[in-house]
Amino acid sequence: MCGIVGYVGEQPALDVVMQGLRRLEYRGYDSAGVAVLGSDDELRIARKAGKLANLDAELAGTELPGTLGVGHTRWATHGAPTDRNAHPHRDCSGAVAVVHNGTLENFAELREGLTERGHSLSSDTDTEAVAHLIEERYDGDLAAAVREVAKELEGSFVLVVAHREQPDLVIGARRNLPLVVGLGDGENFLASDVTAFIAYTREARAVDQDQVVELRRDGVRVTDLDGNDVEGETYHVDWDTAAAEKAGYEYFMLKEIDEQPEAVAETIGGRLGRDGRLRLDELAISDEDIRGFQQVVIVACGSSYHSGLVGKYAIERWTRLPTQVEIASEFRYRDPVVGRDTLVIAISQSGETADTLEALRHARQQGAWVMAVTNTVGSSIARESDAVFYTRSGPEIAVASTKAVMTQLAAVYLVGLHLAQIRGTRDGDEVRSHYADLAAIPRLIEDTLTRMDPLRKIARDISDAERVLFLGRHVGYPMALEGALKLKELAYVSAEGFPAGEIKHGPIALIEQGTPVVVLATRHALSPKLVTNVQEIKARGARTIVIATDGDDSVTPYADHVIRVPDTKSLLSPLLTLVPMQVFSAEFAMARGLDVDQPRNLAKSVTVE
């Protein structure tokens, strides 16, 4: 959580940093702040609680001249989201400005020591301690001071630091959280992710664990914490500014929903080799090792967990490997049974989710193989895995995940087919046939998107409901969970997803006259049983909104509203039913006047445990 920007170059730093923060606001919007170093060697700071718009207003008519700056957008951990706790934070002399993403576990003792040594701290944050520690260590070499301080810090951090005596130097340091360098011409950038500087450069360099970056106009040096130079990987970002902008949509979320056909086409496209075999070349696990797997464990959080649940159905069906799906935050605390014969698949859009990262670290310690399914090139989860499947959905800015989840679904199907092909549990014809079904999905999503107006109207009509239930069976169940999560996070109403067969064991008591129930009832071997479940809730007064396959009328007699999706193989149906889950929740929340890009209390990238 928290977005960080650092810049040194020839352009007005305030403009560059503010533009970067706009792109990073999805990482947190409790407060925002900037520091710019002027040619008079003064570090001028502006910071404001609330969204970036508040800082914009604060800055209106103010000048912060200078070509070196740092900025921050905050998701509060230590200290309330107030002006006083907004970053950047400074030392006693005002010479140092620090922005920080992360949490320092030893901050209480650091603060205590600083106070005893006569420093005066003016915020409730852990970050401010860092500024004062740098003040103590600084003797003209800012990089050396930050390296020394970094050694004293426990916990996770990305720090970006400026000093008023250093007009050509911004320092970055990282442990556990993301930091990338943008490599420009006569200018260089530091940021939490590449979207912050994509308007200026598409050349990037990843920063590794416990490394410190010295960013100057004409060069970048990266060292370890002892000051030894380290080599790094540079890469070209293959999408551009347009992909990170709203393009006329009111919200990023709406744009990202509409981008799904293209995103899935990117995930799936070009995966069949000339020999007719599925090729996932990036999955650098040997065929021999894949044949040795005895089980699969999928770890993920939130919507990515729901993709994992769908993955379980596909992987078990096609490979016959026992597959478990685990909430990542629970995984390592229950001493899970994983080892060399286990494939752990870590699914994460951001590639930085702390719970998922820790789960994969635990799995690797136990000797398991780890495969990442992520959207973020160079992310921590990608770098710490044995193999990576990139979902290629492009930048996702809205906090509620849409196209990233959709491409995760496509990815888990491909991974399942890949495992089945190598283990020989599905023959070549069957693999090709499933791949052909997947390749048809982008067109079917496009078709589904054109059918959503009636659902939008229903969502608006019932947007005063305080409880909505979602039911599904088989792969419809994870999508019911996803529909409920989306509605909770966007509309702040109580929403729950259940396996339809389970409601008679308790949840049916929630149904009153008019309770809206969204039923994922696409055609499936279990359809007759689902029809019975719908009858049960209808008889108790539920207002049923049924998602049904074209031409299937088995459930429609019990539906108050029917939304049709195109036909596909039942196992692949989540790739279509996900669309109405997204559209319904977005419309419901917008009808309540809510900002669907930045729901309250949330952040896009959850880098705390």
Q: Can you give the binding site for ligand M6R, defined by CB under 6 A?
A: 301-304, 348-350, 353, 356, 399-401, 489, 602, 605-606
Shortest reach from residue 405's CB to ligand M6R, in Å: 7
- Give backbone dihedrals phi and psi of 399, rounded to 5 degrees, phi first: -65, -40
Shortest reach from residue 211's CB to ligand M6R, in Å: 23
Shortest reach from residue 10's CB to ligand M6R, in Å: 35
* Burial of residue 39, with CB atoms counted within 10 A of its CB: 0-12 exposed, 13-18 middle, 19 or more buried: exposed
180-183 and 203-206 beta bridge pairing = antiparallel
How far is Cα 386 from Cα 369, in angstroms, rounded to an integer? 6
Cβ proximity to ligand M6R: between 184 and 478 the closer is 478
Helix 403-423 with 574-591: angle, nearest 10 deg: 170
Name the strand (E) or helix (H) holding 266.
Answer: helix 260-268
Rg (CA), the chain: 25
Cβ proximity to ligand M6R: between 201 and 402 the closer is 402
How far is Cα 353 from Cα 328, in angstroms, rounded to an integer? 9
- Give backbone dihedrals phi and psi of 374, rounded to 5 degrees, phi first: -145, 160
Closest residue to ligand M6R, judged by C-beta, is: 302
- Is residue 507 within 8 A of residue 417, CB to CB? The reply is no
Helix 441-449 with 574-591: angle, nearest 10 deg: 30
Catalytic residue set = 2, 604
Between CA 382 and CA 387, with CA 384 as vertex, the angle to 5 degrees is: 60
State both tokens at 516: 């809206």
Shortest reach from residue 29's CB to ligand M6R, in Å: 14
Cβ proximity to ligand M6R: between 301 and 459 the closer is 301
Shortest reach from residue 302's CB to ligand M6R, in Å: 2
How far is Cα 236 from Cα 396, in angstroms, rounded to an integer? 18
Cβ proximity to ligand M6R: between 192 and 304 the closer is 304
Helix 142-152 with 127-137: angle, nearest 10 deg: 130
Cβ proximity to ligand M6R: between 304 and 570 the closer is 304
H helix runs in 39-154, sequence order: 52-59, 107-116, 127-137, 142-152
Shortest reach from residue 353's CB to ligand M6R, in Å: 3
Dihedral, CA of residue 18, residue 24, residue 25 and residue 31, to nearest 10 = -60
What is the three-class DSSP state of 16? Answer: helix
Which residues face 327 on adjacent strands? 300
Cβ proximity to ligand M6R: between 198 and 301 the closer is 301
Cβ proximity to ligand M6R: between 133 and 589 the closer is 589
State both tokens at 282: 């990036």
Q: Is the Cα torsion angle 381, 383, 387, 390 positive or negative in sign?
A: positive
Shortest reach from residue 484's CB to ligand M6R, in Å: 11
How far CA 260 is from CA of 81, 177, 301, 448, in Å, comes to 35, 28, 21, 11
What is the three-class DSSP state of 360? Answer: helix
Cβ proximity to ligand M6R: between 299 and 531 the closer is 299
